[in-house]
Amino acid sequence: MVGTMHAWQAVERGHEVVQIEREAEARGASLRNFGQIWVSGRAGGEELETALRARELWERIGAEVPGLGFRANGSLTPVRTPRELAVAEAALARPDAAARGYELVTAAEAREINPALRGAFEAALWCERDAAVEPRTAQLHLREALRASGRYTFLAGREVREVVGRAAVRDDHGDVHRADAVVLATGAWLSGLVRELVPDLPVRRVRLQMMQTDPLGERLTTSVADADSFRYYPAYRSPALDDLNAGQVQAPIAAAHRMQLLMVQRRDGGLTIGDTHEYEHPFAFDTLEDPYEHVAAVAESFLGRPLPRIRHRWAGVYAQCTDTTRVVHRQQVADGVWLVTGPGGRGMTCSPAIAETTANELGW
């Protein structure tokens, strides 16, 4: 998505773009994510501004490309204990709470917004600015729109292997591609060419487990998070969060796998549910069942009903700046060649704004 959004910016500004993809079809983090355009938990300042700008761009691009499935569905984070409620209240007291569309709603009000939430909870943090797109198909639709410009070519099944001069790269078919500018948006593939160009890249890899159900049979009108998500997102840092972390023990399986519940409904009615976070290498090559059981139980407790059958399970890896306050790592790595990677768990959200910043900085 980072590469595709750079293509979008360049084409929109009248340039010709060749996008080179190693796989026959992209298979990286951009297809494996929730498709959450997630404003709610972003750190105040640059990160929030980027997410809000990106959301504007997603909405605009979504109007041009309906196949993206952009929808301003908002999110609800139900809370059950006084400590969780205190974190939500502290979030509401932030000076940027209105920009995020935060509101604290009662359980009854939450059910008016999202009637599928029939489980037990006391109140919920509503974030009106959160939105969603369809990650598995978004790139196909964007590409179709880019192709219609007549200035876009997608070359699949070619790996970029070498920089061979000013803004020129060679692929593994031996073909050289010359341009005015090259953007390497290689996601979490940090070895090979990227390591050769930047041996000390300040970016790490993070692996997540996910799943998707059969259609729910009813609408989940908002995205849903659990209060464990408060523990991970910078917007919720407060004395109230310190109190939650100190006084309300996370379920051992959730703590061991740095888990939270995030849940979003796909357009076919299925639910994308996650997630775990694994930081230590080597990553597991298989997916573990215990975290799935935990997150399914949390989801069921909010829905007040059993989940439909699990249709897909998968893991994904994203690249994250080791200084997690940085939105992305953008670096000129050779003459006319820039590397853009490391947006972490907000890369789907922020990609249009990240690409816009690159375009502005490079004077496209």
Ligand X SMILES: Cc1cc2nc3c(=O)[nH]c(=O)nc-3n(C[C@H](O)[C@H](O)[C@H](O)COP(=O)(O)OP(=O)(O)OC[C@H]3O[C@@H](n4cnc5c(N)ncnc54)[C@H](O)[C@@H]3O)c2cc1C
d(CA 85, CA 148): 49
Q: Does 2 bind ligand X (CB under 6 A)?
A: yes
Contact map string, positions 189 to 208, toward ligand X, x by CB under 6 A: x---x--------------x
- Check binding of 187 to ligand X (CB under 6 A): yes
Looking at 185, 244, 259, 327, which residue binds ligand X (CB under 6 A)?
A: 185
Site membership for ligand X, residue 160 (CB under 6 A): yes
Least CB distance to ligand X at residue 32 (A): 5
Is the Cβ of residue 90 or residue 357 nearer to ligand X in the bound state? 357
Residue with Cβ nearer ligand X (88 or 188) = 188
Other Cβ atoms within 10 Å of 308 Cβ, number: 15
Kindly tell me which of 97 and 208 has the beta carbon lying closer to ligand X. Answer: 208
Q: Is the peptide bond before 286 cis (omega within 30 degrees of 0)?
A: no
Q: Does 29 bind ligand X (CB under 6 A)?
A: yes
Site map for ligand X, 279-318, x if CB under 6 A? -------------------------------------xxx
Does 346 contact ligand X by CB under 6 A? yes
Q: Using CB under 6 A, which of 21, 47, 130, 278 touches ligand X?
A: 21
Whole-number Å distance between alpha carbons of 104 and 309: 32
Main-chain dihedrals φ then ψ at residue 257, nearest 5 degrees: -110, 15
Nearest-CB residue to ligand X? 347
Residue 61: name the closest of 135, 130, 9, 136 by CA: 9
> Considering CB under 6 A, how many residues would be counted as binding ligand X?
40
CB of 208 to ligand X, least distance (A): 4
Provide φ and ψ at 121, rounded to 5°: -165, 165
Q: How many residues does the chain have?
A: 364
| Positions 163 through 182 that interact with ligand X (CB under 6 A) | none
Minimum distance of ligand X from residue 84's CB (angstroms) = 22
Q: Which range in 25-33, 60-68, 85-93, 292-300 contacts ligand X by CB under 6 A?
A: 25-33
By CB under 6 A, residue 102 contacts ligand X: no
Q: Where along the sequence are the contacts to ligand X (CB under 6 A)?
A: 1-3, 20-23, 26, 28-30, 32-36, 38, 159-160, 185-189, 193, 208, 210, 274-275, 316-318, 341, 343-349
